[in-house]
Structure 1
Amino acid sequence: MDLNPDWECVTDTVMGGVSKAHVATTAYNGRQATRLRGEVSLDNNGGFVQMAFDVAEGGGTLDASPFEGIQLDVWGNAEVYDLRLRTDQLEKPWHSYRADFMAKPEWQCIHIPFADIRPHRTTIPFAPARLRRIGVLAIGRAFHADIAISGVRLI
């Protein structure tokens, strides 16, 4: 099932950090894609830049339980990024579910099974039936983020 993301940019400035980024949809290496570019800084307790979208109108949920996982069509800069998922069960902004992936400097299809998604700072198991938000993050170390995504699917 193809998703039609309305990506937004979020940085650690929401928590006092100083990382900078922007998100733009454009033609990129032969495809229409949304590209996150920025500088991740650890200064002032920061450390992330993100592009994310709600999977349903008004922040509602999508029942992804009939699917096995998520596929992303990605072009990157040979850095490791996080796929970050949220459900409507999570109460705190630091609660999430995540999996890492390498974004090579070529178009590639990244497949992340739900079985590989791990809870972060929560004991609540991941419930695909309650999926609310999908994000891609550059996080945890100072580096230049540059990643383009041309497709997102539940498979």
Structure 2
Amino acid sequence: GRNKTEVLEAKAPKVSSKGRLPIVDDGNFFRKHVEFMLTKMGWEVETANNGDLAMKVLAGSSSSSFTAIVSDLEMPTMDGFTFAQNVRKAKGWSSIPMLAMTSSYSDPVVARALESGFDQLLPKDQLDSIETLINNVIRMRKETAHAA
């Protein structure tokens, strides 16, 4: 009979993804949860557990290879605020849509995140809205680009 590998290879062709997202969060459980959710929704996901590693992921890619960036704010090594500032300063990355996630959602945190270069902020307890917000920041950036 047919061996198992042939059966595995006969799976349906991969549906083209909605886009590619780096997810940056130091919490392993949370990062895996977000990765699982977004993968299930049809996004292609790359993960990093701090801003420093995420910068290395971006450095090895062209800005057109990612649709948007989703990052936590509170992380060791390089926090989300510094990461966003570095992304905005990096050649070719200044206009990529960026969504911040935080468990300490407050007006000062929102203000600081927006100042750092994020387009919007998602409270971690409202994860159900993640795809809506990803699409929002992508749309916001497109509109800004057309207006310029």
Larger Rg: 2
Greater RCO, CA 8 A, separation 6+: 1
Q: Same fold (TM over 0.5)?
A: no
In proportion to residue count, which structure has more helix?
Answer: 2
TM class by smaller structure: under 0.3
